[in-house]
Amino acid sequence: MKPNEMKVDLKGILFTGIIVLMLISLVIPGITGSWVREANSTAFTYAPHYSKLTSLCSSMSIYLLYILLIVCIWSNQKKGKTLLIVYISSLVFIVWGLFAFYEANLQEVLLDDVSINIILIPLFYILGYEKAIFDSAKRLIPFMVVLMVGLIFWSSLSFVFQYGLSTETRTSPSKEMFAVAISAYWCYSLGMSESKKYHRSFKYILGICLLICAFLIRSRSWIIQCILLLYAMLAFSAGKNALLRKIVAAFTVVLVFLLIILLLPNLTGALFDRIGQDTRSGQYETFFSQVDATSLIWGQGRNAGYSFLGITNYRYFDNQFIYIMFHYGIVPVLCLLGIIGGLFRKINKDRFTLEEQAYIVGCRLMSIFFLTALGGLSVYFKFGWNLGTLFVLIFIGRGVAMMSEARERKRDTELRPRNTVIKGAMYDGSRLKMVENNS
């Protein structure tokens, strides 16, 4: 085995280890915790059980991801745009790191919920440039979707059997697992080819299961996302008659939605009772009454907070763009949008295979779903060093890499010397040859 091949294999193995560690730190607290009834309320909240094992796995996954990210940046340092985004993100990271180290120790700065790690998240797309990492992600993602869907069903149904269908939950492990499940499903449904018929059918079955899970966790945002995702899969699938596919897709999605309502009337009825409720605008009003909008340009640091829900220093916000800018300014958001914007350049079909074209279109749709989830069309969807964000940015990074490789091939073709005839002589790229005239 060549040295370079060994390095590539080690990257894939390291990435797989990171995923396993993240999975342990997510699943074990989600299945070993307990339900607690809130004071003066009939609603329940979930208290996860964190052990030394889960804390260790969480910390190790972050440190190992740092190592993998540095190795991948070093491997791709010759790429111009990649290097520019690395420089910008690293500069912002260093600046905020200097401020953070005056307030807390290294562990808190790097492992806290609002750590400076957020600044480096856009760089995850560089992992998609590595074929070994991308191939590992492709192998893991179908199993990840199935596992998360199974755990959501188990967690939700066990709560229903214990406390009843009408009982409300404030926090739930199912909601956190759903964020991972749908992120992996974006990658699976939009970023992986349908070479076999059963493969396509399995995607649709999982999509319907996710829609049912969205009803189980009573999330209007995720229900909308699942419906739009099923429609996109059907409407943009391979075929000749595009208009007919879109009509059939709309009819099929409506039919599935109605069947779920008919088969699960108690569950859907509890959700529809909340249709008219406005649960988001109050947070915006409270936030901007206390925070100057111009401060979002440069941010206020990891300890920034505002009074909300009776908490004097509430540091979170549902809209992840505002959440990022509130703490670390607009630069990380611009870096993320700049990376995703690379997917929307014009595709020269002559320089891509049909499979590559389909992949890039799928990544464009994936990025739209991802951005809308970050913008608030979601529940418990966090922009962080987690499984969902990592998978999506790796797939987006692979699409950006394809676009970059196509531009490089075009540039090489244009710079390649051509045979040129000059006044009885021919230039063959190295010397002039006299052309004989036999006439």
**Whole-number Å distance between alpha carbons of 344 and 332:** 19
**Whole-number Å distance between alpha carbons of 268 and 78:** 53
52 located within any domain: no
430 located within any domain: no
Helix (H) or strand (E) holding 299: none
Please provide the distance, in angstroms rounded to a whole number, between the alpha carbons at the two ends of the chain.
59
Task: Look at residues 299, 318, 298 and name the one whose alpha carbon lies nearest to residue 308.
Answer: 318
**Whole-number Å distance between alpha carbons of 209 and 44:** 25
Q: 335: buried, middle or exposed (CB in 10 Å: 19+, 13-18, 0-12)?
A: buried
The answer to whether residues 402 and 359 touch, using CB atoms and an 8 Å cutoff, is: yes
13 located within any domain: no
74 located within any domain: no
**Residue 261 pLDDT:** 67
**Whole-number Å distance between alpha carbons of 216 and 175:** 10
Helix (H) or strand (E) holding 275: none
**Whole-number Å distance between alpha carbons of 12 and 333:** 28
DSSP track, 150-217? HHHHHHHHHHHHHH-TT--BSS-HHHHHHHHHHHHHHHHHHHS---SHHHHHHHHHHHHHHHHHHHHT
In angstroms, how far is CA 46 from the centroid of its own chain? Answer: 25
**Residue 23 pLDDT:** 96
18 located within any domain: no
3-state secondary structure of 386: coil
28 located within any domain: no
15 located within any domain: no
Count of domains in the chain? 1
**Residue 54 pLDDT:** 94
30 located within any domain: no
Question: How many separate helices (H) and strands (E) can be counted in the chain?
Answer: 15, 7
The amino acid at 408: E
The answer to whether residues 192 and 138 touch, using CB atoms and an 8 Å cutoff, is: yes
Q: What is the pTM of this model?
A: 0.86
3-state secondary structure of 333: helix
3-state secondary structure of 247: helix
Q: Which residues span the domain enclosing 273?
A: 79-422
Place of tokens 């790229």: 429
- Per-residue pLDDT tens, the chain, 439 aa: give them: 444 444 447 899 999 999 999 999 999 999 999 999 988 778 889 999 999 999 999 999 999 999 999 999 988 876 656 778 899 999 999 999 998 888 788 888 888 888 999 999 999 999 999 999 999 999 999 999 999 999 999 998 899 888 887 788 888 899 999 999 999 999 999 998 766 554 778 888 999 899 989 988 888 889 889 988 988 888 776 655 666 666 777 777 777 767 766 665 655 555 555 555 556 678 899 999 999 999 999 999 988 999 998 888 899 999 999 999 999 999 999 999 999 998 998 877 777 888 888 899 999 999 999 999 999 888 889 999 999 999 999 999 999 999 888 777 766 666 666 555 444 444 444 444 444 444 3
Helix (H) or strand (E) holding 412: helix 387-415
The answer to whether residues 117 and 110 touch, using CB atoms and an 8 Å cutoff, is: yes
